[in-house]
């Protein structure tokens, strides 16, 4: 079955360190997204990509970067982690094309990141 997987599921890092969260999907979806989930804020969009070599900033992109070198993967990098980036991170994917632009997004299981 097609799926979307995130790794690691849990991570603890020190302030100032760099960390990369992996997201891999096997649906061949062109769209991929990174959200963070925080109590009282719901899900907020960090970065998104509509295809290979395309990346765009979301509403909370400061301190994060992404790159899209193939269809399947959209890794999220925190260049210098801060305590404010302690959160649960979700990757999602969807497909565009004619009427299918209206399909839903499929989500990974999440990565719980703690910055100490």
Partner 1 sequence: AQSVTQLDSQVPVFEEAPVELRCNYSSSVSVYLFWYVQYPNQGLQLLLKYLSGSTLVKGINGFEAEFNKSQTSFHLRKPSVHISDTAEYFCAVKQGGSEKLVFGKGTKLTVNP
Cis peptide before 90 (omega within 30 of 0): no
Which of residues 15 and 108 has its CB atom nearest to partner 1 in the complex?
A: 108
One character per residue 10-49, x = contact with partner 1 (rule: CB under 8 A):
---------------------x-x-x----xxxxxx--x-
CA 77 to each of CA 59, 61, 115: distance values in angstroms, whole numbers, following the listed order: 16, 11, 14
Interface mask toward partner 1 for 44-83; x: CB under 8 A: xx--x-x-------x-------------------------
Residue pair 52/28 in contact (Cβ under 8 Å)? The answer is no
24 touches 46 (CB < 8 A): no
Residues 18, 84, 109, 114: which binds partner 1 (CB under 8 A)?
109
């Amino acid at each position: 079955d097609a799926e979307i997987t995130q790794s690691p599921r849990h991570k603890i890092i020190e302030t100032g360190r760099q960390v990369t969260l992996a997201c891999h999907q096997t649906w061949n979806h062109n769209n991929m997204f990174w959200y963070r989930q925080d109590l009282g804020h719901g899900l907020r969009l960090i970065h998104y990509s509509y295809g290979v070599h395309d990346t765009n900033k979301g509403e909370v992109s400061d301190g994060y970067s992404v790159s899209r070198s193939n269809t399947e993967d959209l890794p999220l990098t925190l260049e210098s982690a801060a305590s404010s980036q302690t959160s649960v991170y979700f990757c999602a994917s969807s497909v565009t094309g004619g009427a299918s632009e209206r399909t839903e997004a499929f989500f990974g299981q999440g990565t719980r990141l703690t910055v100490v």
